[in-house]
């Protein structure tokens, strides 16, 4: 009797186990089908681009070092005027400014525009100054070039706000606004064209200054490249709805704990302006990264400057800016960054009619 009950019990346990196994397999299959159905159709094709953006973000982050504090003279609202009777004029070489240090830094930058074939003759605007913004622009605009007054202003927060106190960011901003002041495809065209050209060119000027020996420009190059690749990743996160995972990665890998609350505050601000944020990231980061920087890093192409010049032997020719210094910056990592990268027809650099005709 005991034996019979024992057999019946073990048969019951076996049946239970089988039922349980069927249930688990069924649930797993249903979950797999559910997940597979929810994966956007375009995601598999975008995965290599997402992986490349992630790799460049991390590589550039590791090499960008730490920003140093900005230590400059600054006369606030007292402008060192371009007035011959003012002895401060000599400090700024006649530029309207409130920082002799800033004008000195620009004088260091401007010859590179010609040296790097961004233009033939570098130009200096009338005014170059730290300037306050009165509205929310203060928290997300680093600098501006106005062609009407021919002036470059840098956000005054660079002078007093610890969040902006980073010399890599300041140099990158100065180079960027200075490029607008050169004209060509960096000033004329749609905002998307102008800003994406300028972002790409900024990177190459930073690389050139680094290759020449200016240490600050080396970290500025990696800092700019990190920012561009990270925002490209962020743009994919929005497109394919993995923003939560992006924010987690961003905090884990690229932001220290002190920056978390600031970064959350910024997220809350942009949550109210999602389209504006998407446009900004597209024109300053994703578009230049994928259609200008990567093609120029991985191929010998050249960025269309929009400048045509006359030459007695060559006739009229268009100036294209090579990315030789950026390529050198990548060095041994270049094959990995460029691994599997192909120019897309819509993104191909059209050497007759300009960069990226798809826009």
User: 200, 303 in Cβ contact below 8 A?
Assistant: yes
Name the segment binding Zn ion (CB under 5 A); options: 197-205, 262-270, 298-306, 347-355. 197-205
CB of 145 to Zn ion, least distance (A): 7
Positions in 292-321 near Zn ion (CB under 5 A): none
Residue 148, strand partner residues: none
Name the segment binding Zn ion (CB under 5 A); options: 88-96, 191-199, 223-231, 329-337. 191-199
Q: Which residues contact 165 (CB under 8 A, 6 or more apart)?
A: 67, 69, 70, 158
Positions in 82-141 near Zn ion (CB under 5 A): none
CB of 198 to Zn ion, least distance (A): 5
Take residue 47 and report the two structure tokens written for it: 């995965």
d(CA 205, CA 118): 9
User: Rounded to 10 degrees, what is the CA torsion of 49, 52, 58, 63?
Assistant: -130
Angle at 96 between CA 93 and CA 100, to 5 degrees: 55
Residues binding Zn ion: number (CB under 5 A): 2
User: 142, 169 in Cβ contact below 8 A?
Assistant: yes
* Closer residue to Zn ion in complex, CB, 59/181: 181
**Which burial class, exposed, middle or buried, applies to 214 when counting CB atoms under 10 A from its CB (0-12, 13-18, 19+)?**
middle
* Closer residue to Zn ion in complex, CB, 123/215: 123
* Closer residue to Zn ion in complex, CB, 156/195: 195
User: 315, 225 in Cβ contact below 8 A?
Assistant: no
Which residue is listed with tokens 């019946």?
8
Residue 70 is given by DSSP the state P
Name the segment binding Zn ion (CB under 5 A); options: 20-28, 73-81, 190-198, 234-242. 190-198
**Quick count: other Cβ atoms within 10 Å of Cβ 331?**
8
CB of 350 to Zn ion, least distance (A): 23
* Closer residue to Zn ion in complex, CB, 92/235: 235
d(CA 140, CA 266): 9
Distances (CA, A) of 290 to 47, 146, 225, 258, 318: 14, 28, 12, 31, 23
Name the segment binding Zn ion (CB under 5 A); options: 196-204, 242-250, 286-294, 348-356. 196-204
Name the segment binding Zn ion (CB under 5 A); options: 7-15, 134-142, 193-201, 298-306. 193-201
- Cα 227 to the center of its chain, rounded Å: 4
What share of residues in the chain are helix, strand, coil (percent, to 5)?
Answer: 60, 10, 30
Phi, psi of 308 (to 5 degrees): -105, 140
CB of 37 to Zn ion, least distance (A): 42
Binding mask 149-188 for Zn ion (x = CB under 5 A): ----------------------------------------
* Closer residue to Zn ion in complex, CB, 141/278: 141
Positions in 257-296 near Zn ion (CB under 5 A): none
CB of 301 to Zn ion, least distance (A): 22
CB of 349 to Zn ion, least distance (A): 21
* Closer residue to Zn ion in complex, CB, 198/347: 198
CB of 75 to Zn ion, least distance (A): 26
CB of 267 to Zn ion, least distance (A): 23
CB of 33 to Zn ion, least distance (A): 47
* Closer residue to Zn ion in complex, CB, 99/198: 198
Interacting residues toward Zn ion by CB under 5 A: 195, 198
């Amino acid at each position: 009797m005991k034996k019979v009950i024992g057999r019946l019990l073990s048969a019951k346990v076996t049946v239970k186990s089988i039922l349980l196994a069927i249930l688990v397999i069924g649930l797993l299959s249903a979950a797999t089908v559910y997940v597979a159905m929810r994966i956007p159709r375009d995601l598999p094709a975008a995965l290599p681009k997402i992986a490349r953006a992630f790799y460049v973000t991390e590589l550039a982050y590791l090499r960008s070092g730490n920003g140093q504090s900005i230590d400059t003279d600054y006369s606030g609202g007292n402008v060192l005027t371009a007035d011959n009777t003012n002895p401060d004029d000599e400090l700024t070489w006649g530029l309207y400014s409130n920082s002799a240090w800033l004008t000195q830094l620009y004088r260091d930058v401007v010859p590179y525009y010609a040296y790097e074939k961004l233009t033939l003759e570098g130009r200096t605007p009338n005014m170059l100054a730290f300037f306050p913004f009165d509205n929310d622009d203060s928290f997300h605009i680093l600098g501006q070039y106005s062609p009407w007054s021919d002036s470059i202003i840098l956000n005054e927060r660079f002078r007093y706000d610890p969040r902006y106190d980073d010399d890599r960011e300041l140099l990158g901003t100065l180079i960027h606004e200075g490029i607008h002041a050169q004209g060509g495809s960096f000033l004329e065209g749609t905002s998307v064209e102008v800003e994406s050209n300028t972002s790409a060119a900024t990177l190459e000027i930073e690389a050139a200054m680094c290759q020449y020996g200016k240490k600050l420009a080396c970290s500025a190059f990696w800092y700019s490249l990190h920012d561009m690749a990270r925002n490209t990743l962020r743009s994919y996160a929005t497109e394919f709805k993995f923003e939560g995972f992006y924010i987690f990665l961003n905090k884990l890998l690229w932001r220290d704990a002190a920056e978390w609350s600031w970064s959350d505050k910024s997220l809350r601000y942009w949550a109210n302006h999602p389209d504006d944020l998407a446009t900004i990231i597209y024109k300053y980061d994703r578009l230049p990264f994928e259609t200008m920087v990567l093609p120029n890093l991985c191929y010998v192409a050249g960025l269309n400057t929009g400048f045509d010049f006359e030459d007695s032997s060559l006739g009229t020719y268009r100036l294209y800016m090579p990315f030789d210094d950026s390529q050198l910056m990548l060095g041994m990592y270049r094959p990995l960054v460029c691994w599997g990268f192909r120019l897309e027809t819509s993104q191909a650099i059209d050497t007759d009619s300009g960069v990226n005709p798809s826009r």
